[in-house]
Chains A and B, each alone.
Chain A
Amino acid sequence: MAIVSKQQEARQKILTALENQYTTVTFDDPLENDMVLNMGPQHPATHGVLRLLIRLDGETIVAAVPDLGYLHRGYEKLAENMNYHEFIPHTDRLDYLSPLANNVAYVLAVEKLAGIEVPPRAQYIRVICCELARLASHLVWLGTMAMDVGAVTVLLWGFREREKIQDIWDLFTGVRFTTSFTRIGGLANDMSAQAIAATKIFIDELPASLDECENVLARNRIFIDRCEGIGYVSKEDSIAMGLTGPLLRAAGVDHDLRRDEPYLVYDQLDFHVPVYTDGDVLARFYVRMTELRESVKIIHQVLEKMPSGPIHSGNPKKVLPRKEKVYGKMEELIHDFMIVNFGINPPVGEVYHAIEASKGELGFYIQSRGDGYPWRLKIRSPSFVNIQSLPMMLRGGLISDVVAVIGSLDPVMGEADK
């Protein structure tokens, strides 16, 4: 009440003063007062439903507090109440820009728990899955971040390229977006010759389009001015804040799980891990641009080396049989019935498995009590941890830099909120 009457009083004073043409009006200096600004959860530049409360001194940010939970769907609770296979479609909805990588990360954790070995062809196809997902995710990042700092052209170019990736996903998983492609112990389908041909054409053409995008941005005065020195985070801070992925590599830490803890067949592939030491938005831009090119290189190698052979591990008690066999053979019908109704019953124990997803370390921690469903499943999502360092990056910067920093962080709220 007191505040309202005070406001009315001040307003009345101003109005009376304005009516008298001989008075000079002095206002309080607006820069002397802090302003609290609410960004989101419905804000085009926050990439989803991230809410940010910012305290401003003039145009300078004094403090920022991220507020999460607007997309919380309780996937960890759901996972405890369904068997291991049933959770695969839910992993699509975590980082919805790279669903295939999430599928792979989840089944790798379950396979580690159950002790299942996957045949080489399936592993190579999974590498293609991960790298195509990284390409798709980074292309959206490129477009949206460039748009956030004012370059709308690159958004359209980025989405044009991503559209081609989704056409490839359509060919080899059957859907464009929510793929649910992997199975425990294998894959839903083998990669057809048609899909391989489409991938080849795409990765041959992509570097030219990347050059096109980079030429528009990397030598653009406005883009450089808006990115250089913005959102700085030091090497020590980035380790203490638990940053992973491109953000960590842009701050000078040479760490990539694909190389440091090789999973699938990454140890047989030759790729370079880009590391920049500036720790600002521009460094993150260069890290991701280099990663895009490295992914192309990896897919080239995988397509060359990919052996032929089965895509399912031969463990009928754990791996779902092919559907056509279920309809025709008694053994497979029984196994299908047992796996669908009672689950795969991995041994008692706990495992954690992480992959280098496009945003950072995506890990699944599973506690098993020997039942068909996980006792506890924890998703270590990179976006959730990365968002935590937003206040550190924003403090002392300008209000107009907020969108650039969020763009460089590349958070996906489906993953951060779980």
Chain B
Amino acid sequence: MKEKLLNKLNTHFKDSIESVSEFRDELTLIIKKNDIVKVCQFLRDDEELHFDSLRDVCGADQFTPENRFEVIYNLYSLNNKFRLRLKVRVDENDLHVPTVTSVWQTANFEEREVYDMFGIIFDDHPDLRRIYMPEEFEYHPLRKDFPLMGIPGSLPLPRK
């Protein structure tokens, strides 16, 4: 399955893949940011690979000067019982990533969560609002520069 997947992706999207890595039998591909929708669409629609289910989207803050953020897609193929992890790198100065809600509807809530926690903006997302924090909250709590104890006064108490 792994070879088949990599062969197919290499023939169709050789330029989109930045790197391939494997750790504990889990395959991780880093994809160029602007090609993510194209690659996802291919992975879902290809009859052999058939990654019909997106299990998770999450963000990560690597706290590096370049490409600080990551968006991680956890794909699962129900037919092949195979998992694949796609990653997109996002620079702090350009926090826009194309949304994959057109490929899998389930990305809606999960991308909202990434937006809420990391401030990554998903272009063309149907309903990009905060999901856990109140809408008027200014910070993105899972960024590494947000202190564990919170910022005093950032969450106003309800008026009496």
Contact = CB atoms under 8 A, between A and B. Distances in A.
Interface of A: 68-69, 72, 74, 76-78, 81, 112-113, 115, 237, 239-242, 244, 253, 255, 260-261, 349-352, 354, 361, 363, 365, 367, 375-376, 378, 380, 384-385, 387-388, 417-418
A242 B148 contact: no
Contacts of B28: 350
Given A69-B132, A76-B142, A352-B74, A239 B53 contact: yes
B81 A242 contact: no
The 4 closest A-B pairs by CB, nearest first: A242-B106, A69-B132, A349-B23, A72-B132
B140 to A, nearest CB: 11
Given A240-B106, A352-B85, A376 B60 contact: yes
Interface string B135-150: 0000001100010100
B85 A69 contact: no
Nearest to B81: A260
B142 A77 contact: yes
B135 to A, nearest CB: 10
B43 interface: no
Given A69-B132, A260-B81, A380-B58, 20 more contacts: A69-B131, A76-B142, A77-B141, A77-B142, A78-B148, A239-B78, A255-B78, A349-B23, A350-B23, A351-B24, A352-B83, A352-B85, A354-B55, A363-B74, A365-B58, A378-B56, A378-B58, A384-B109, A385-B110, A417-B132
Contacts of A261: 81
Instruction: Indicate the size class of the contact surface on chain B.
Output: 35 or more
Contacts of B141: 74, 77
Interface on chain B toward A: helix, strand, loop, or mixed SS? mixed
B99 interface: no
B122 to A, nearest CB: 15
B106 A77 contact: no
A380 B56 contact: yes
B148 A77 contact: yes
Contacts of B54: 242
Contacts of B17: none
A78 B23 CA distance: 25
A418 B132 CA distance: 9
Given A241-B106, A350-B28, A365-B74, A72 B133 contact: yes
B92 interface: no
Nearest to B146: A77
A365 B28 CA distance: 13
A349 B106 CA distance: 27
Nearest to B74: A352
Contacts of A244: 55
23 contacts: A69-B131, A69-B134, A74-B141, A76-B117, A77-B142, A78-B148, A242-B54, A242-B55, A242-B106, A350-B23, A352-B26, A352-B85, A363-B55, A365-B56, A365-B74, A375-B60, A376-B58, A378-B72, A380-B55, A380-B56, A384-B109, A385-B109, A388-B106
